[in-house]
Amino acid sequence: MISKYFLVITAVVLGNFVHGAMRFDRLPGRHRLEGAKRCACSCGLMNRRRERLVGGEYAEFNEYPWVVALLLKGHYYCGGTLISDRYVLTAGHCVRGVNVKSLKVMVGEHMRSFPIETRSKAYQAVHYVVHPNFNHSNFESDIALVKLSDKVPYKWYARPACLPLPKRDYVGQLGLVAGWGRTTEKGEPSDLLKEILVPIFSNAGCRQLRYSDHEISDNMMCAGFTKGGTDSCHGDSGGPLMIRGKDKKVTVIGLVSWGEGCGRQGFPGVYTRVEKFLPWIEENTRDSCYCGSRTGRGL
């Protein structure tokens, strides 16, 4: 997770890209998975102790209670998003070929080196499914689901994000990214959960930068700064790109997937577009419980 504080503060103050200005003024909408069970809970509720400018450096303790850490043989390597009481959404390249017995998911994590500082808990992964169209050479359909050994009891420090409604346009809005990835392209992963704000491009706009036309498919989305500097990085893979609505609930709209280095000029981060995979998510999570309804109070 690479952040330049002055870039982030500028983005926060300006808001949505409309005639050179930005604003947080759109409700992202939440998707209800019709075949899934409903739970008496709400998705997308942040733990923010005070309203503040977001994206400077570190997140507050358990500010994003759905952001999880994936551990392979006890070592952190990818992020993910809790979307129900049993399933985590992550990138396909994070888990394909991984021995599920070596995979654990830390829920409620904040400081990786000192887990008892928060109420984090490690869940054994019992199964994962990678999208059948995932292609490691071009990161097409870079999405996967990880099933946990036990149901996650929802608490203030562990609860799910909302899923998006189909066919929503996020161009020009600010996306939130949170993760423990590298703080520089060749640096070390962050010990504390970090957050950044990045403006969301249209795919056409992204293709006009330094990516070639064929690299950015309709199942992807780009977010970042044309001048670089603020970006997701290695180790953030699988973590969420989020939108916060006027109702202050948070929806995961993208997954950190790939990019040309980290924070390079003309190469914004590329994310898996979650709304393109809602039927697949529903089909593979029917044995879990989701929060809320289509009314804006939940999924």
Mind telling me the catalytic residues?
93, 142, 237
CA pair distance 88, 70, nearest whole angstrom: 10
CA pair distance 109, 180, nearest whole angstrom: 10
Among 49, 86, 88, 81, CA closest to 65? 81
CA pair distance 101, 94, nearest whole angstrom: 15
Q: To which residue do tokens 């604003």 refer? A: 23
| Cα 222–Cα 225–Cα 231 angle in degrees, nearest 5 | 75
**Paired residues of 272 in beta bridges:** 220, 255
Q: What secondary structure does DSSP assign to 41-107, as a single string?
A: S-SSB---SS-----SSBPPTTSSTTEEEEEETTEEEEEEEE-SSSEEEE-HHHHTT--GGGEEEEE
